[in-house]
């Protein structure tokens, strides 16, 4: 007997082999194996059924014959008269009568094997479907049932032996067995072929999928899998795979655009810095004015570059879900007040006023919230000519758990075509005009960052703007609970 280790090794080898086998081969084998088991099972059941019905039929015939003789004896007939009459047993049932000494005194079929022969061939363990009150003997060519009944006639005890051949149809049964075996083998082969054919057909889309996946490269991301016309699991897989490719392609294109835009943005300050360093190397030592202008311009460009890099890093961290957000309970009015107060030092010739500032508690990251408000305020300053007005207010919405923060300016405004795009990365509405206002060039990243922060806090941003008239950004900030002031307003 193989040892436990040997068994484990064999099992590991089998698993390794199955792991390397193609799915189609696995399905074919499984399909054929299942059908094989079903065929074997039905053949066995059929065989047992046929045998059991033969046994049952023989048993019934013996019982009827016994019953008939018993009835006639109880009606007063003598055994001799019964044996001399016709049809005292059913056709096929053999009767042998012995006296008290065991001597055979009557037999209705002289060619039938003797009692001794039948007894010598008695089966010790008859099949489970055989009647336990009868005996089964198995001779060379056939099996037979045997039942005994004792009767009393004219003061003498006689033993009546009833026999019935069970499998006289031996030839038929052997034939049946051969046919069943042949059907099983043919069925198995058909199952193998059909399984192979079906699994090859069913798995074709998967093979196509593999082929397409192999062909997809960075340069050829537009390839898609052909979706089968029927809506089954494989069609679903193909659709899902195509959707995944759509997303990957979009992400990849966005990444490409991002890299090229970022490089483009960085090229300008680097060129300016290089230009000024050339100027400084030539005239810097002799001309003090050139020296000062050069140093100050290089510093400005370097600061712009630093800001741009900070923003790029922020978005990169956000994309990788590494940008840290620590939310806590805050008083929004205090936050708005603090940001506006600080911003007042940087508005130059603009006027910045804070109107209504309702109280309301929010659950948010204070650093990000300040950064977001600053982006809107800095834009308002950047895109509003000197002397313009910037108005901030924070109003609670009666019946809603929302605070609406408004940042309004009377600056250059945003055209309706641009309004849907200004939140895209690096998008700037008409850069030439932008530069003209206060000569402050933007990067086109501020609003992307603001929108990311808003999304992290469930804040909805709406924009109302008209070219030449100004812009109003409306931020709907969710409150932890309905603002008290609004509650009072509602009750009034
Ligand atoms: P930038 O660094 O260019 O300001 P943003 O992403 O913050 O980048 O803004 C994108 C564009 O949206 C700006 O270039 C500008 O054209 C437009 N914009 C943003 N805010 C305003 C505003 N308050 N008034 C007019 N235009 C604005």
- What whole-number distance in Å separates Cα of residue 33 and Cα of residue 192? 9
Q: What is the pLDDT of residues 256-278, one digit of tens each?
A: 888 888 898 889 889 999 999 99
One fold for 74-168 and 233-318: no
User: For a pocket test of ligand 1, which of 444, 464, 466, 470 has the largest count of ligand atoms closer than 8 A to its C-beta?
Assistant: 444
Q: Of all helices (H) and strands (E), which one includes residue 295?
A: helix 288-319
CA of 445 to the centre of ligand 1 (A): 9
Which of 264, 268, 447 is the pocket-test mutation for ligand 1 (most atoms within 8 Å of CB)? 447
Tokens 């051949």 belong to 165
Is the distance from the beta carbon of residue 126 to the nearest atom of ligand 1 less than 6 Å? Answer: no
pTM beyond cutoff 0.85? no
Closest CA to 243 of 251, 255, 232, 254: 251
Specify the pLDDT at position 23.
Answer: 76
As a CATH number, domain 74-168 is 3.30.450
Res 325: pLDDT: 93
Tokens found for residue 283: 């005239």
Q: Which two tokens stand for residue 418?
A: 């641009």
Which of 304, 428, 435, 468 has most ligand 1 atoms within 8 Å of its beta carbon, as the pocket-test mutant?
Answer: 428
3-state helix, strand, coil in the chain (%, to 5): 55, 15, 25
Alpha-carbon separation of residue 486 from 335, 363, 396 (angstroms) = 19, 18, 6
> Which atom of ligand 1 lies at the shortest distance from residue 428's CA?
14
The response to whether residue 414 sits with its C-beta less than 6 Å from ligand 1 reads yes
For residues 66 and 161, what is the distance between their CA atoms, to the nearest angstrom? 10
Q: What's the pLDDT score for residue 441?
A: 63
Q: Which atom of ligand 1 is nearest to the CA of 380?
A: 23
Distance CA 460, CA 451 (A): 9
CATH number of 233-318: 1.10.287.130
Rounded to the nearest whole angstrom, what is the distance from the C-alpha of residue 390 to the centroid of ligand 1? 15
Q: Which of 404, 398, 406 is nearest to 483 (CA)?
A: 398
CATH of domain 326-491: 3.30.565.10
Please list the residues that pair with 462 across neighbouring strands: 474
Reported as a single tens digit per residue, the pLDDT across 374-433 is 999 999 999 999 999 999 999 998 888 999 999 999 999 999 999 999 999 888 886 555
Q: Count of residues for the chain?
A: 492
Task: Name the residue of 315, 411, 414 to mutate for ligand 1: max ligand atoms within 8 A of Cβ.
Answer: 414
Phi and psi of 139, rounded to 5°?
-95, 180
* pLDDT score recorded for residue 436: 42
Per-residue pLDDT, 489:
47
> What residues of the chain score a pLDDT lower than 70?
1-2, 18, 167-171, 218-219, 430-441, 485, 487-492
Residue corresponding to tokens 């250059």: 412
Distance 226 CA to ligand 1 centre (A): 43
Among protein residues, the one with the nearest Cα to ligand 1's atom 8 is: 444
Q: Where are the domains of the chain?
A: 74-168, 233-318, 326-491
Nearest to 473 by CA among 381, 409, 412, 429: 409
- CA gap 25, 44 in Å, rounded: 28
Identify the burial level of 481 via C-beta atoms within 10 angstroms of its C-beta, where 0-12 means exposed, 13-18 middle and 19 or more buried.
Answer: exposed
Distance 252 CA to ligand 1 centre (A): 25
Query: What pLDDT does residue 463 have?
Result: 97
8 A C-beta contact, residue 109 and residue 133: no
pLDDT tens track for 418-476: 999 999 988 888 655 544 444 456 788 999 999 999 999 999 999 999 999 999 999 99
Between CA 458 and CA 443 the distance in angstroms is 25
**What's the 429 CA to ligand 1 centre distance in angstroms?**
7
Cα(118)–Cα(112) distance, rounded to whole angstroms?
A: 10
């Amino acid at each position: 007997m193989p040892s436990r280790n040997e068994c484990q090794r064999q099992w590991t080898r089998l698993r390794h082999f199955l792991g390397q086998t193609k799915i189609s081969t696995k399905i074919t084998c499984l399909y054929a194996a299942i059908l094989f088991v079903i065929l074997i099972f039905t053949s066995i059941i059929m065989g047992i059924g046929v045998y059991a019905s033969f046994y049952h039929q023989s048993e019934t015939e013996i019982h009827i014959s016994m019953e008939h003789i018993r009835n006639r004896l109880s009606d007063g007939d003598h055994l001799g008269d019964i044996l001399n009459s016709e049809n005292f047993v059913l056709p096929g049932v053999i009767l042998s009568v012995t006296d008290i000494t065991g001597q055979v005194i009557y037999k209705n079929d002289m060619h039938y094997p003797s009692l001794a022969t039948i007894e010598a061939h008695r089966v010790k363990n008859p099949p489970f479907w055989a009647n336990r009150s009868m005996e089964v003997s198995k001779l060379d060519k056939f099996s037979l049932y045997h039942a005994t009944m004792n009767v009393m006639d004219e003061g003498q005890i006689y033993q009546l032996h009833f026999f019935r051949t069970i499998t006289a149809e031996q030839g038929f049964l052997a034939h049946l067995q051969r046919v069943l075996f042949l059907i099983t083998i043919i069925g198995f082969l058909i199952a193998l072929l059909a399984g192979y054919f079906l699994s090859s057909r069913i798995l074709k889309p998967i093979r196509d999928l593999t082929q397409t996946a192999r062909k997809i490269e960075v340069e050829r991301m537009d390839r898609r899998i052909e979706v089968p016309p029927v809506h089954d699991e494989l069609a679903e897989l193909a659709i899902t795979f195509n959707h995944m490719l759509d997303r990957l392609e979009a992400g990849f294109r966005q990444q490409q655009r991002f890299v090229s835009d970022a490089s483009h943005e960085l090229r300008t300050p680097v060129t300016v810095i290089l230009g000024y360093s050339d100027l400084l190397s030539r005239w810097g030592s002799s001309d003090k004015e050139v020296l000062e202008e050069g140093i100050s311009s290089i510093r400005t460009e370097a600061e712009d570059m630093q800001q741009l890099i900070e923003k790029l890093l922020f978005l990169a961290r956000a994309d990788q879900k590494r940008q840290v957000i620590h939310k806590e309970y805050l008083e929004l009015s205090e936050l708005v007040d603090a940001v506006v107060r600080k911003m007042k030092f940087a508005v130059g010739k603009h006027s910045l006023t804070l109107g209504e500032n309702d109280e309301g508690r929010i659950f948010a990251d204070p650093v990000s919230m300040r950064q977001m408000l600053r982006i809107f305020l800095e834009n308002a300053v950047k895109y509003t000519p000197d002397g313009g007005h910037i108005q901030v207010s924070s109003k609670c919405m009666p019946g809603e758990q929302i605070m609406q923060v408004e940042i309004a300016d009377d600056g250059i405004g945003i055209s309706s075509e641009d309004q849907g795009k200004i939140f895209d990365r690096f998008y700037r509405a008409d850069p030439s005009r932008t530069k003209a206002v206060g000569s402050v060039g933007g990067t086109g990243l501020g609003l992307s960052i603001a929108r990311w922060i808003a999304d992290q806090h469930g804040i909805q941003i709406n924009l109302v703007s008209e070219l030449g008239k100004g812009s109003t950004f409306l931020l709907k900030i969710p409150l932890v609970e309905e603002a008290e002031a609004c509650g009072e307003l509602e009750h009034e």
